[in-house]
Structure 1
């Protein structure tokens, strides 16, 4: 399945999603915004989906905004219009990965500047090459991060560190990104490791994985009482369900589980 600017290949429940504008280091133009939003929408309704790996083709994950194509307002969309629930189009291409029901793993290499950093921040898990160059770059252009960055970074990065990086727009490496919380781990082969992790996740009960993601998302926004109640509600639905019974039986019988969606 191929979208303009974005490709999607699904194998055994794992969607390999790639930004496919390598000649421009996958920079974000109106067509890329539309393709990413459409890809998220398609994945959201894909039966049998267990995990997503998000990466960029060529020399970079994503170099951020294509300033030439976005000059003069780019798409002309009203930033105040909430076209995707709580988000506008520009926010959706980062925030939308968080709202997918299955885990998303970003594989990051080359550069991840501005909007590119915000897009990868929407993933559940972020694997980067040590030499990757990252930046909250918007201040360089006299603007602020407006692709859901602050909503995503609040659970990842210390407040004062986030302020410094936003105010200065300075670059930092994959190694520093790991220390600061922007990425989950480093790898010399981010895409290979991300795909391997996605396949491991795809082998777990899809009901339990989706429930765990709902709880993880809720934990960032709710108080203790809400989280405790949600834990109980999710567990009550899982206990003695077909996939939960299959998980137990497969472990007892020492065989691979066979789950249903």
Structure 2
């Protein structure tokens, strides 16, 4: 059985971590499968992605048994090579979802620890069941978060929050995670809410949605004011008067929903 399944319907990709017997814990094979799933969607005819986990938890972190074998090797050779552009394999588990050109929604439940937490950070936003627990678990194993977390977390949470989570490895509940900015919202059924959000996004102009994700990435990157303003103008220029925008205008004037054919 594949460790990650990808199902595309109505321009929405459902990506499911499918190792429920291990609470979707990440070993090297799981990491490869997650990255492969993300990379397969970069050129796909999709408009939104839902990232979820089968079984009792979204992802409980690193597979402890596989980590023992991992730790027995040469850490320099295992961690330092940039195998996926500017990342190693495990960093790409989270960062690949920022490379997917459409919004990615993480539907969280159960344990979202360590590698699972950093994977969720790679999504555009995170919807959590009320019972969700989140943790930067690496300190429990004498490690630091090194799967893209230190790129992604400072965009969401205060420095003191990041430090407390990192130093203690203590799990926090969904309500606390929401207050700290780690998740976007709590829903009675995160998976159903993610479907609703993905369906709403899929009904918007595909080209404008992709342009918005690119523009937000520029704004988050620390680019200077001139670069962000120029990016705004460039993206807008490429949208004005094009087929998707004209469809939106026509639909609004006719008070109906636009129907976009094909991809972006």
TM-score w.r.t. length of structure 1 = 0.96
Measure how far apart 1:75 and its partner are. Answer: 10
Partner of 1:233: 234
Measure how far apart 1:70 and its partner are. Answer: 2.0
Query: CA-to-partner distance for each residue in 1:217-259, whole Å, 9 max, x for gaps?
Result: 1111112211111000000000001111111111111222122
For residues 1-261 of structure 1, the aligned pairs below 5 Å read: 4-46=2-44, 48-73=45-70, 78-221=78-221, 222-260=223-261, 261=263
Query: CA-to-partner distance for each residue in 1:190-225, whole Å, 9 max, x for gaps?
Result: 000001100100000010000000011111111221
Measure how far apart 1:74 and its partner are. Answer: 6.6
SS in 2 for 1:83: coil
In structure 1, C-alpha distance between the alignment counterparts of 2:27 and 2:72, rounded to whole Å: 9
In structure 2, C-alpha distance between the alignment counterparts of 1:163 and 1:100, rounded to whole Å: 29
Measure how far apart 1:78 and its partner are. Answer: 2.5
Measure how far apart 1:4 and its partner are. Answer: 2.0
In structure 2, C-alpha distance between the alignment counterparts of 1:142 and 1:246, rounded to whole Å: 55
Structure 1: 5+ residue stretches without partners? none
SS in 2 for 1:238: coil
Taking structure 1 as reference, are residues 223 and 199 closer, same or farther at Cα in structure 2, changes over 3 Å only? same
Query: CA-to-partner distance for each residue in 1:92-139, whole Å, 9 max, x for gaps?
Result: 111111111000000000010001000001100100012211110100
Aligned-CA RMSD value: 1.4
